[in-house]
């Protein structure tokens, strides 16, 4: 029996080498691997006994040889086990183009593919993580060798995805790393998993689970929650329910009052939602949060006294680092793949006042804050902002005027005064009805992208009521 070994990652190789040798395998290895095995007292043949050469092309060719591949692909005899892991391309990504090119594996990938193709006879070990599985599953049968072949092909696909993404700047391939099962999906009868796109930045690398187990829906809310507080600045607090913000407050004075303002935005919807805090949570703040029911509490840092206090609650706990991903956004459903650039950049960069009255400094600040919030609210979104606080929100309605009506109704329901507030829309107002409704309820500042055939009608309406109309020229629609 023969085994071929050619590895960059030598973790666990000494144990594997001893095990194979003690079980009657003749070991053949490339120069670096052979040297390592010999240094651990393991008998090994240099691969050049078969190929007739050690290395070619300044070390770029080690295993590309017809005799090697004949022994891997033969249906009758040859190598029975192939142990190959690939050049460390991932570690070379931050070292520049030359490093990536030199860590672009050719022979290793070819050996993995050949071994996988011949899984009827050959067992292929494509990573050190498989060694323990190998020990526990001896003797191997056809199904077990097929599993190893599948893992080898998975390694190849992910490896090539990294090369495409980082060396060639090609963003239109998707494979998944670290895929793990969840309790269930959106509903208990649906199976679900979570993972990371290979070679791409991932929010999952920037979060740390302190307590609990996240659900499918928790992950969806986590993405929105961390995005919105990161965009709105340090100290911001947001309460998310079903991926929509029902309470957001910019930091003012202290964390305790900031939390209360976020909660007051819509205290009813906040129940059972996600609380995200772009700040440190100490014992004092935790004491104020504790009486309220949140399914997930997310913070930049949870101090030990806060963690101890929250351990008595059912809430899951997470710490996060700021994550602003500029890579492509993917949506996959029913075999349809949609890819788009992320919606980034300040929406207030080109704000233009169309009315006679200029906005006050307070209205400008609330307009900027509202534009950061509205881009994370679902379609036909209307938000009402006052003093750096979300005081009303309408979303997901087929009609924009319905969203405006809901936002105003919710604001009044929870006792917020609309005098001095700002209404921000994610898309242009097609008719004057939403602005008319706002004016009747005391709102005197409106922000929208502009672009309606009736823009002039709305400008006139605002001028007649000493109101401000601001165009941004940028739609912030989230479907």
Q: Which residues are catalytic?
A: 117, 242
Cβ pair 316, 212 in contact under 8 A: yes
H-helix segments, 175-329: 216-232, 255-265, 267-270, 283-289, 304-310
> Which long-range contacts link 72-76 to residues 24+ away (Cβ below 8 Å)?
72/4, 72/111, 72/114, 72/115, 72/118, 72/122, 73/114, 73/117, 73/118, 74/118, 74/121, 75/118, 75/120, 75/121, 76/121
State the Cα–Cα distance between residues 252 and 324, nearest whole angstrom. 24
State the Cα–Cα distance between residues 198 and 262, nearest whole angstrom. 36
Token pair listed for 403? 């969203």
The label of the residue with tokens 């947001």 reads: 238
Q: Which residues contact 425 (CB under 8 A, 6 or more apart)?
A: 374, 381, 382, 400, 404, 434, 446, 447, 448, 449
DSSP character at residue 56: B
Token pair listed for 413? 């329901």
Q: Report the candidate in 116, 126, 8, 105 with the shortest Cα–Cα distance to residue 69.
A: 116
Give phi and psi for 17, each to the nearest 5. Answer: -60, -45
Q: Report the candidate in 477, 467, 377 with the shortest Cα–Cα distance to residue 422.
A: 467
């Amino acid at each position: 029996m023969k085994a071929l070994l050619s590895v960059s990652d030598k973790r666990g190789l000494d144990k594997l080498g001893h095990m194979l040798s003690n079980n009657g395998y003749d070991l053949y290895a490339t120069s670096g691997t052979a040297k390592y095995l010999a240094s651990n007292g393991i008998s090994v043949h240099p691969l050049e006994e078969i190929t007739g050469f050690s290395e070619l092309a300044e070390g770029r060719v080690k295993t590309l040889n017809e005799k090697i591949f004949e022994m891997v692909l033969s249906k009758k005899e040859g190598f029975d086990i192939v142990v190959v892991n690939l050049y460390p391309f991932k570690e070379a990504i931050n070292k520049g183009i030359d490093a990536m090119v030199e860590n672009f594996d050719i022979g290793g990938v070819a050996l993995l593919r050949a071994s996988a193709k011949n899984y009827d006879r050959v067992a292929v070990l494509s990573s050190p993580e498989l060694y323990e599985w190998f020990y526990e599953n001896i003797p191997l049968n056809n199904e077990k060798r097929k599993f190893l072949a599948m893992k080898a092909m998975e390694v190849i696909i992910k490896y090539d995805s990294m090369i495409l993404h980082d060396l060639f700047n090609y963003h239109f391939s998707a494979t998944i790393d670290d895929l793990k099962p969840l309790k269930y999906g959106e509903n208990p009868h649906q199976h679900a998993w979570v993972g990371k796109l290979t070679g791409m930045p991932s929010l999952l690398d920037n979060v740390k689970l302190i307590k609990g187990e996240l659900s499918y829906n928790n992950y969806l809310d986590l993405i929105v929650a961390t995005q919105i507080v990161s965009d709105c600045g340090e100290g911001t607090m947001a309460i998310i329910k079903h991926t929509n913000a029902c309470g957001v407050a910019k930091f003012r004075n202290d964390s305790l009052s900031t939390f209360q303002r976020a909660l007051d935005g819509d205290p009813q919807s906040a129940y059972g939602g996600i609380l995200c805090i772009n700040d440190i949570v100490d014992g004092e703040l935790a004491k104020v949060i504790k009486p309220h029911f949140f399914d997930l509490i997310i913070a930049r840092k949870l101090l030990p006294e806060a963690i101890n206090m929250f351990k008595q609650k059912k809430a899951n706990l997470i710490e996060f680092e700021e994550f602003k991903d500029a890579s492509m956004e993917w949506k996959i459903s029913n075999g349809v793949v949609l890819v788009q650039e992320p919606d980034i950049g300040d929406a207030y960069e080109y704000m233009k006042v169309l009315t006679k009255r200029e906005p006050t400094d307070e209205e400008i600040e609330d307009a900027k804050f509202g534009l950061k919030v509205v881009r994370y609210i679902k379609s036909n979104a209307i938000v009402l902002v006052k003093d750096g606080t979300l005081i009303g929100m309408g979303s997901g309605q087929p009609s924009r005027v319905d969203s405006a009506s809901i936002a105003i109704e919710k604001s009044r329901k929870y006792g917020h005064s609309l005098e001095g507030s700002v209404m921000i829309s994610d898309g242009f107002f097609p008719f004057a009805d939403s602005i008319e409704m706002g004016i009747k309820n005391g709102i005197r500042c409106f922000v929208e992208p502009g672009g309606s055939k009736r823009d002039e009608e709305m400008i006139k309406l605002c001028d007649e009521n000493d109101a401000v109309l601001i165009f941004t020229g940028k739609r912030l629609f989230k479907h």
